[in-house]
């Protein structure tokens, strides 16, 4: 049963992120913090209510007793067994069937690429209006990573100098060269992976835009 609700555990949080983008597109601000607080509060209340309702359903529950061999000799009433099955299986079935029906009316994943384009353009225009230079998030991340790599190289160099000072048998130039070569290979792998990710995102965006056009979805 638990494996059956795994898709819902990942699908709905992902769709929620899209809903936040739609709110930003329509209202000009994000509500991630407020929404998360409300969701956590509702979950806390729902857990308490669920436990209370479940205890009410199994009012005839008999505390298990065991024989000398450790085998359970208690027979639960049929009403209790039915309540347990209904609480752990039946309710979930109907809830997720209802959610599946509701998903038919949710088209945020189709509109998302178009909305994100508009949101990004707004951010660019706002940045330029403040007299600041716009830097794409990917480029900003690359620059930050360069700073981190430079700092890591500097720290490694200083530490290596200390080690070589304590141990004259160590070859400073070789060890430093090995480190730089290894770091360069890692950067090349990361660059290839990032390039593939960008291509996949571009292809996904193209397919979603075509799907939105076919369905006549407008933002």
**What is the mean predicted confidence (pLDDT) over 189-206?**
87
Contact between residue 59 and residue 84 where contact means Cβ atoms under 8 Å apart: no
Question: How far apart are the C-alpha atoms of 51 and 45, rounded to whole Å?
Answer: 10
**What is the mean predicted confidence (pLDDT) over 14-30?**
87
pLDDT at 51 over 70: yes
Residues 6+ apart with CB under 8 A from 52: none
Cα–chain-centroid distance for residue 110?
19
- What confidence tens digit (pLDDT) does each residue in 115-164 have? 888 898 998 999 989 998 888 888 888 899 999 999 999 999 999 999 99
% of the chain with per-residue pLDDT over 90: 22
Contact between residue 40 and residue 47 where contact means Cβ atoms under 8 Å apart: no
Residues 6+ apart with CB under 8 A from 164: 170, 171, 172, 175
Question: How far apart are the C-alpha atoms of 25 and 18, rounded to whole Å?
Answer: 10
**What is the mean predicted confidence (pLDDT) over 89-112?**
83
Q: Which one, of 64, 65, 60, 63, lies nearest residue 80 by Cα?
A: 60
**7 band by pLDDT with thresholds 50, 70 and 90:** low
DSSP letter string, 19-87: HHHHHHHHHSS--HHHHHHHHHHHHHHHHHHHHHHHHHHTTT-----B-TTS-B-----HHHHHHHHII
Question: Sign (positive/negative) of CA torsion 39, 41, 47, 50?
Answer: negative
Question: How far apart are the C-alpha atoms of 35 and 41, rounded to whole Å?
Answer: 10
**Phi, psi angles (nearest 5°) of residue 71:** -85, 140
pLDDT score for 3: 61
Question: How far apart are the C-alpha atoms of 184 and 129, rounded to whole Å?
Answer: 38
Residue 78 in tokens: 């049929």
% of the chain with per-residue pLDDT over 70: 95
Within 13 A of 181's CA, how many CA atoms are on the CB side?
6
Residues 6+ apart with CB under 8 A from 34: none
pLDDT score for 89: 83
């Amino acid at each position: 049963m638990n494996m059956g609700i795994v898709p819902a555990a990942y699908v709905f949080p992902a769709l929620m992120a899209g809903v936040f983008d739609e709110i930003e597109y329509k209202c000009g601000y994000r509500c991630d913090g407020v929404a998360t607080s409300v969701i956590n509060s509702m979950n806390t209340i729902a857990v308490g209510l669920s436990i209370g309702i479940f205890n009410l359903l199994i009012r005839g529950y008999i505390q298990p007793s065991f024989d000398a061999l450790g085998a359970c000799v208690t027979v639960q009433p049929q009403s209790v067994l039915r309540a347990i099955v209904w609480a752990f299986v039946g309710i979930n079935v109907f809830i997720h069937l209802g959610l599946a029906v509701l998903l038919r009316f949710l088209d945020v994943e189709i509109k998302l690429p178009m909305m994100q384009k508009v949101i990004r353009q707004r951010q660019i225009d706002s940045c330029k209006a403040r007299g600041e230079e716009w830097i794409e998030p990917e480029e900003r991340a690359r620059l930050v990573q360069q700073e981190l790599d430079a700092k890591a190289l500097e720290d490694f160099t200083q530490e290596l100098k200390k080690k070589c000072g304590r141990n004259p048998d160590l070859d400073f130039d070789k060890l430093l060269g090995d480190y730089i070569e290894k770091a360069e290979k890692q950067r090349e792998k990361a660059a290839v992976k990032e390039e593939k990710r960008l291509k996949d995102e571009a292809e996904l965006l193209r397919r979603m835009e075509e799907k939105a056009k076919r369905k006549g979805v407008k933002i």
